[in-house]
Amino acid sequence: MIRPVALFIPCYVDQLAPEVGMASVRVLERAGCEVSYESEQTCCGQPFLNMGEASAAANLAERHLRQFEGHETIVCPSGSCVATVRNRYGELGIGLDEADRVQRRNTFELGEFLVRELGTTSLGARFEHRVAVLPSCHGLRELGLGSPSELPGASEPAPIDILLDAVAGLVRVPSDRDECCGFGGMFAVKFPEVSARMGRARLREWADAGAEYVTSTDVSCLLHLDGLRRREGYGPQPIHLAEILAAGDDA
């Protein structure tokens, strides 16, 4: 059965990495979804929440909910934007009636939606490279997309790991570390030296392990790492999960 899905595109994908949005469409269609796009959508409010600008964030949050009103399923190639909608709108007093709560619950990160909602683990992708994984902080610690190292006990496997393990030719580079890459939204603006040092440490680890690419569910983290990689001259090339899953035999 074809499942209708509304695509929620983060600002930085729209402005800086539109290829991730296009890859997300190809992946969702390959998974049997009918994808629609609300052309008037804009920021979900996350940057303003991070800056403490509650009034501006609330206006954008309310607008976001109205833009996607009536859609049963909303999918986004960003864990941080999904975490904002699902977990943080309530802090603003937005999206608290039953219809909005349902809409917020039914807003999914792309990998989460494929594995946990559709039960899809293989999309016929081929990507013959060594790939490291950056579990984004929002995905790991706010959406439960994996097991953060600071919490004891087992949890569900990370959807991104399940999807990558099903990609033909891909070798996943293991890592015991799951700390922040140093982006952290406004953190990178307020503390650029610390942010860059954290990013360089991750790049060095992956480079030493022989990773050719590093992937994640968040373009913002990948853009941060790409800037450091270009400046420092070492580290794997960042690529979003959707781009790997959309890859074919020529990858």
Six token digits for residue 115: 């594995």
Angle of helix 219-232 versus helix 192-208 axis, rounded to 10:
80
Six token digits for residue 93: 């007093």
User: What predicted TM-score, i.e. pTM, was given to this entire model?
Assistant: 0.94
Alpha helix (H) residue ranges in 53-117: 54-67, 79-83, 98-105, 110-112
Q: pLDDT digit string (tens) for 104-121?
A: 999 999 999 999 999 999
Residues comprising the chain, all counted: 251
Q: pLDDT digit string (tens) for 139-172?
A: 999 999 998 888 877 677 899 999 999 999 999 9
First vs last C-alpha separation in the chain: 30
